[in-house]
Amino acid sequence: MGHTKMRRILNTVLLSGCMGLISAPGSRADAPAWMHNLVSAPVPAHDEKTDAAVMYSEKIVTVQSPEKIKILVRKAYKILRPDGREHGLILVSFNSHSKVTSLHGWCIPAQGKDYEVKDKDAMEVSIPKITGSELISDTKDKVLQIPAADPGNIVGFEYEKEEQPMVLQEEWDFQEADPVRESRFTLQLPATWEYKTYWLNSTGSKETVAGTNQWQWVMSDVKGLRTEEQMPPWDGVAGELIVNFYPSGGANSEKTFQDWRQMGAWYLGLTRGRRDLSPEIKQKVAALTADKPALQAKMLSIARFMQTDIRYVAIELGIGGVQPHSAVDVFQHRYGDCKDKATLMSAMLQEIGVDSYYVLINTERGGVNDGTPAQIGAFDHAILAIKLPESAGNSSFVSTMQHPKLGKLLFFDPTNSLVPFGEIGGYLQANYGLLAAPDGGELIPLPKQAAGTNGIDRKGMLRLDARGNLQGSFTETRRGDRAWSEREAIRTTVQDKDRAKRIESLLSASLANFALTKLSFINLEQISQPFGYEYSFLAERYAKTAGNLLIVRPRVIGVRSSGLLETKEPRHFPVIFEGPERDTDTVEIEMPAGYEVDDLPPPVDLDYSFASYHSKTEANGNVLKYTRSFEIKELDVPMNKMEELKSFYRVIASDERNTAVLKPKS
């Protein structure tokens, strides 16, 4: 799983690395007529920040049999700004089940003769190893550099592929980051074959008959999508057409599914026999659970084994991008990808009498919703739904849901080695996944955990002197995503000075001058417990002087405000939060001897449907006490609440700057 998402990463890697490696001067040859027809065509509507425009795009899919499909792709860009030169680098993927039969590229300069590059000018590039994924794959790219991809010029390419399809389904991505003047999709089917279409994020267009058992769809003047911070994933906003095709009567069903129920059955077919146990696996399960009479403890022991002893390595050869390896192989080699780890864990749970089911999911919430049609490219990850027997008792598990047929299900991601059993990361919460149960697939919403399961509790005991110097210590307790992400960051560093940079970065966001004097960790390796920091620092001249007054900011560290919406351009997409969260701060500042409070900032109480924020500064004897809480309640903030969200962050920013005034006692 994860191939679609991995391709996006690889494209970025290749675009940044290959531009300087590929030298393709090209030859002088006329570009084809379909490109020359674009020279005088109007450029689609765009603004001054648009790097390029898609002048023409075409995809022709010719289905010859269930085992063979031919695809012809044409595309041409008008380069508008220097950053648009990246469109001169063409990448065409292929593997053991597909081949590129031809590849050409052309440039029509604003002045001068056309350029042409062909197959012989292309490079074949294997997928590079991505840190953390340890990817082994038979997928390669043909990379072709079109010369003179400069502003004012038109660059285009054409390639043909032959594929042995895994499923009888095609996607047409007609909306891009660049505006599109015209995009066409043509489907040619064998006689008597049928098709069904599904439009995503678009009302689409009506098909026209282009020939015998041939249909065509056209989209014109498609607006480009500009990325925004914390926007929904691309799959959740970009226009796309999904086409299923099949012989009349739905024959060859092993390669066809028209709904989630059928897709779940199709996937279970791929996994048949993969969860069979070997004597060695049975022995390991016995060893892991021998001293644990309670079923819950047995499950926990198996989960921890999967997290610590089975490395994540993705081997995607042929159908391996979708089909898991057998539990026997994964156990023997002690590595596998997400679906492999889910397979082995499911097999081991089966040995202790616990049923579990595959859940295919998109790690970007919003990429799949309850209106998404069944499609193989919708998901990039696999986890487990574990059926909790009644004998498991009342546990503290929070990543659960009550299924009407299967009973209580616990969701767990064995790939993430730092999330405790019984919880799931925010990227999976309130997300849709395909539950592959014995009676077929079902698209289900995963649970959203309580905000209190994720966040930071920060407590500070500080002392201020008459010169304005502030010193003291903080204790942080991190839960949920805030715990596992911090453990992961620390895990990649070995030197104390590098680990200290995590806290130094936090302090530098709020303090102008400081020195970190002490740092220690709490529960660094105990992932079932909250992770924590304890640190001390000295901040010179923290409080400002005004005559005989001291001006001190009660909010010492930690920034919850955001300039997310403080942009010149209007917002176009909803705001997506990583997950539910609740943070608290309690800071006590001992005032200098001989000083008392002259003025305190006002309390703040904000309550919106999507989030809340409360803060208060008070004096208790010679101690200035600041408390606040920040909570994310809804994970998606719709467009009609953007002004509320902007106001929310602005009030927080004001509160974070507010100061208290201390004066000498009378």
Out of 10-19, 70-79, 479-488, 557-566, least confident range: 10-19
Q: What is the mean pLDDT of the chain?
A: 92
SS3 label, residue 320: helix
Write the single-letter amino acid at 249: G
Higher pLDDT, 517 or 27: 517
How far does CA 453 lie from the centroid of its chain?
21
The pLDDT, as a whole number, for residue 27 is 73
- Helices 295-309 and 338-351 pack at an angle, to 10 degrees, of 150
How far, in Å, CA of 366 to CA of 454, rounded? 20
| Contact present, 577 and 230 (Cβ < 8 Å) | yes
Higher pLDDT, 248 or 558: 558
Write the single-letter amino acid at 288: L
- Helices 279-289 and 338-351 pack at an angle, to 10 degrees, of 70
The pLDDT, as a whole number, for residue 497 is 85
CATH 2.60.120.1130-classified regions of the chain: 452-664
CA angle (538, 656, 542) in 5-degree steps: 25
Third-level CATH fold of 3-255: Immunoglobulin-like (2.60.40)
The pLDDT, as a whole number, for residue 255 is 85
Residue-wise pLDDT for 179-234, tens only, equals: 999 999 999 999 999 999 999 999 999 999 999 999 999 999 999 999 999 999 99
**What secondary structure does DSSP assign to 552-600, as a single string?**
E-S--S------TT--SSPP-S-EE-SS-EEEEEEEEEEPPTTEEEEE-
Write the single-letter amino acid at 375: Q
How far, in Å, CA of 371 to CA of 378, rounded? 12
CATH 2.60.40.3140-classified regions of the chain: 3-255
With a cut of 60, say whether residue 12 has pLDDT above it: no
With a cut of 90, say whether residue 295 has pLDDT above it: yes
CA angle (481, 484, 488) in 5-degree steps: 130
Residue-wise pLDDT for 468-524, tens only, equals: 999 999 999 999 999 999 999 998 887 888 889 999 999 999 999 999 999 999 999
With a cut of 90, say whether residue 410 has pLDDT above it: yes
| Contact present, 481 and 578 (Cβ < 8 Å) | yes
In this structure, what are the phi and psi dihedrals at residue 540, rounded to the nearest 5 degrees?
-75, 145
Confidence bin at 320 (pLDDT 50/70/90) = low
The kind and range of the H/E element at 298 are: helix 295-309
Helix, strand, coil tally for the chain in percent (to 5) = 25, 35, 40
Confidence bin at 380 (pLDDT 50/70/90) = very high
SS3 label, residue 247: coil
With a cut of 60, say whether residue 340 has pLDDT above it: yes
Confidence bin at 4 (pLDDT 50/70/90) = very low
With a cut of 90, say whether residue 139 has pLDDT above it: no
How far, in Å, CA of 626 to CA of 553, rounded? 10
Q: Which two tokens stand for residue 540?
A: 């010179």
Residue-wise pLDDT for 549-585, tens only, equals: 999 999 999 999 999 999 999 999 999 999 999 999 9
The pLDDT, as a whole number, for residue 401 is 96
The pLDDT, as a whole number, for residue 248 is 80
Confidence bin at 13 (pLDDT 50/70/90) = very low
The pLDDT, as a whole number, for residue 625 is 98
Out of 60-64, 246-250, 498-502, least confident range: 246-250
3-state helix/strand/coil string of 615-653: EEEEEECCEEEEEEEEEECCCEECHHHHHHHHHHHHHHH
How far, in Å, CA of 403 to CA of 405, rounded? 6
Q: Following CA atoms 329, 335, 336, 342 in sequence, which dihedral angle do they give, to the nearest 10 degrees?
A: 80
The pLDDT, as a whole number, for residue 21 is 44
CB atoms within 10 A of CB 257: 26
Burial annotation 410-433 (CB, 10 A radius, 16+ → b, else e): bbbbbbbbbbbbbbbbbbbbbbbb
**Residue that the structure tokens 């596998």 belong to:** 336
Confidence bin at 17 (pLDDT 50/70/90) = very low
- Helices 279-289 and 295-309 pack at an angle, to 10 degrees, of 120
How far, in Å, CA of 508 to CA of 110, rounded? 51
Domain 452-664 has CATH 3.40.50.720: no
Q: Which residues contact 602 (CB under 8 A, 6 or more apart)?
A: 658
CATH 3.10.620.30-classified regions of the chain: 260-449
The pLDDT, as a whole number, for residue 5 is 43
CB atoms within 10 A of CB 206: 6
Confidence bin at 128 (pLDDT 50/70/90) = low
Q: What is residue 235's DSSP assignment?
A: G
Write the single-letter amino acid at 480: G
Best CATH choice for the domain 260-449 from the list 3.40.50.720, 3.40.50.2300, 3.10.620.30, 3.40.225.10: 3.10.620.30
How far, in Å, CA of 330 to CA of 553, rounded? 56
Burial of 377 (0-12, 13-18, 19+ CB in 10 A): middle
Confidence bin at 2 (pLDDT 50/70/90) = very low
The pLDDT, as a whole number, for residue 395 is 75
Q: Which two tokens stand for residue 605?
A: 């109480």
Q: Which two tokens stand for residue 634?
A: 């809804």
The pLDDT, as a whole number, for residue 322 is 87
The pLDDT, as a whole number, for residue 18 is 46
With a cut of 70, say whether residue 63 has pLDDT above it: yes
With a cut of 70, say whether residue 135 has pLDDT above it: no
